[in-house]
Structure 1
Amino acid sequence: MNTPIRLLPHLVRRVPRASSNAVRASSLAAFASRRCFSTSRPLKNAKDRGPPKPPSDDKADAARSFLGTQKRLPEFNLTDKIILVSGGARGLGLTQAEALLEAGATVYALDRLPEPSAEFPKLQAKAQNELGTALHYRQIDVRDSGSLTQIVADIASEHGRLDGLIAAAGIQQETPALEYTAEDANRMFEVNITGVFMTAQAAAKQMVRFGSGGSIVLIASMSGSVANKGLICPAYNTSKAGVIQLARNLAMEWGQYGIRVNTISPGYIVTQMVTMLFEKFPERETEWATQNMLGRLSKPQEYRGAAVFLLSDASSFMTGADLKIDGGHTAW
């Protein structure tokens, strides 16, 4: 037998129809009183508004002028910074120098070549005529530590500061370990480790001298973390492993002066020298591409952003780190 449910009178609250209508009316009045829906200023139809007015030329010019200045992503801005790039006469070093110039820095390329590459004068003209900054060249072999230190000191004295360094100078030699000579090994280490060390030291001395800190980036390689399959370069790979460890130690010692030290470890890059290598070993172009997760080789332009990032305040809390840009090669 179903028992009907009875609601006790004291548990039921009835709202009079008149009062509910009043609440509804007062809510509508409150909504209508808002500025976004005012009964005294009705909205116009779209056709009554006319076509949208284009921004004035002054505003458009102002917006464009913000690009590359402290008004947009100011932490990436390098305006008025003085930055050195060793190995900057060509290849990866010159490509990264271009990015630093576009971010506003004044750049000094250091290299052992009597004359930089044919692209260098073009970039100099772009820096002066389009970017409002400057690109300079100083010939120096990083193995000549005395002259290197003096050149860096002269540059810093001229500007009263030194803010950054990319140490990209390095050499490569492909020789089986059983055939390597002590002379060849020592030459590799002298350029790729000692030369990098002395370049970083020369820059750090000026940063300490002027007391403004700075950022130092050493170009290492994914070959400093793995043995490249099929690439017989025991001394080169060892030297790049040494660069990674060197950066950690310099970061530890120089952090007290506000100097950050990091490394970039590129993967295989298609440069002019590598293109010539492919002519001798055409199979490598295909094999190397299959050894990373993206299935292709990199271009020098793909390391531009990393240079600006590490030398700017965008990486202000980053030191003693290795930034791998290798298409996932070392992450298998």
Structure 2
Amino acid sequence: MTVTIDYKGKIVFITGGGRGIGLAITTAFAKAGATVIVTYTSKDPKEIVEKISIEFKVPIHVYYCPGENTNRVNEVIELSSKEIGEIDIVIPNAGVSLWRDTVDMSDSELDWIMKTNLYAPITLCRGFVRHWLGMGASIKSENDPGKPLDIEKINLNKRILVVSSISGVVNMRPQRQMAYNVSKAGLTMACKSLAGEWAKYGITINSISPGYVATDMIKEPPPGEGSLWPLKWKQDTPVDRFAEAEEIGQMVVLMCSQQSSTFMTGHDLIIDGGFTTY
């Protein structure tokens, strides 16, 4: 039997979907026929995603949405749902890294890592689930009445797949990145926790933890001792190569499909070429 994955009629929301792994995820969903919504913080990817839109003949929409700005995130959730349609799949992908000894890390740097990599994906998921439940994405006050009393168990048939990292599983080396490791470990556990909490709403929540991927970080390592790090990373990867971003994108599409995601929730899939086997 031939297995085909068709996302025609589906709308996918991808944070940081205009570069790196996020762009590969955008491309994979577009190739599968989905309408895609991409958010960005720094560089507008409109020209890049327009080429993908034309190639695969699907709409791709772009919104400015810094993940640490919860008010803007909730605004984009409501706005995109109104302008494009109800979102079926959410991919919290955006993240940042910082190679810094902990004794040299400032409070602002620590806040930046945690807010972007951990806090932002959680508030994004919360906003979408509130929206799907008809509550409105924003929490107005600490005395917010919560979900409607008549909502106990429903089947929204929604998917959330979060891009985490093997840095949440093992202590990476030789770079120093405690804050990044902690943020990703927390993110993976957040997905497991939310999967149990929101399963009764017909929402599956899973995560992927990629190893080293051939993105800008690999191609343009930091100067000095950092220039030797990619060689060490490759040596520690049993398959003796880095992943291509397209491989990650294709796996995300598979994991969110009706063929694979109806019973899988709370799972973290490690895609690392064997790195964490040591």
Cα offset for 1:255? 0.5
- Cα distance change on mapping 1:331 and 1:94 into 2, 3 Å: same
Q: TM-score scaled to structure 1, two decimals? A: 0.73
Q: Are 1:109 and 2:29 counterparts?
A: no
Q: Which has the larger helix fraction?
A: 1
1:199 aligns to 2:144 (yes or no): no
Q: Which amino acid aligns with 1:247?
A: C
- Length-normalised TM-score, structure 2: 0.87
**Aligned residues: CA RMSD:** 1.9
Matched with 1:153 is 78
1:322 and 2:237 correspond: no
Moved beyond 6 Å, runs of 4+: none
Q: AA paired with 2:266?
A: G
Change (3 A) 1:90 1:117: farther
Q: Partner of 2:80: helix, strand, or coil? A: helix
Q: Deviations over 1:228-286 (max 9, x none)?
A: 12120000010000110000111011111110111110001111233111665332222
* Structure 1 residue 311 displacement after superposition: 1.5
1:135 aligns with 2:135: no
Q: Deviations over 1:23-69 (max 9, x none)?
A: xxxxxxxxxxxxxxxxxxxxxxxxxxxxxxxxxxxxxxxxxxxxxxx
Query: How many Å apart are 1:204 and its aligned residue?
Result: 2.1
Name the structure 1 match of 2:19.
Answer: 90
Cα distance in 2, alignment partners of residues 209 and 150 from structure 1: 15
2:32 and 2:248 map into 1 onto residues whose CA distance is 14
Q: Kindly, what percent of the aligned residue pairs are identical?
A: 26
Instruction: Kindly tell me the number of residue pairs found equivalent between the two proteins.
Output: 257
Instruction: Structure 2: give runs of 5+ residues left out of the alignment.
Output: 136-154
In structure 2, C-alpha distance between the alignment counterparts of 1:278 and 1:172, rounded to whole Å: 12
Q: Deviations over 1:119-175 (max 9, x none)?
A: 3231122233xxxx2111111101111121121122223454221011111111000
Partner of 2:94: 169
Corresponding residue to 1:277 among 209, 215, 221? 221
Partner Cα separation in structure 1 for residue 257 and residue 227 of structure 2: 39
Name the counterpart of 1:99. Answer: 28
Counterpart of 1:238 in structure 2 is 182
- Residue 107 (structure 1) shift: 0.4
Say which structure, 1 or 2, has more relative contact order (CA 8 Å, 6+ apart).
2
Tell me which residue corresponds to 2:160.
216
Instruction: Give the direction of change, closer, same or farther, for the CA distance of 1:298–1:313 in structure 2 (3 Å limit).
Output: same
- Give the corresponding residue for 1:21: none
Residues 159 and 117 of structure 1: is their aligned pair in 2 closer, same or farther, counting only changes over 3 Å?
Answer: closer
Equivalent residues of 1:89, 1:113 under 8 A apart: no
Compared CA separation, residues 330 and 117, structure 1 to 2 (3 A): farther
Aligned in 2, Cα 1:216/1:205: closer, same or farther, shift over 3 Å?
A: same
Residue ranges of structure 1 left out of the alignment (5+ in a row) = 1-70
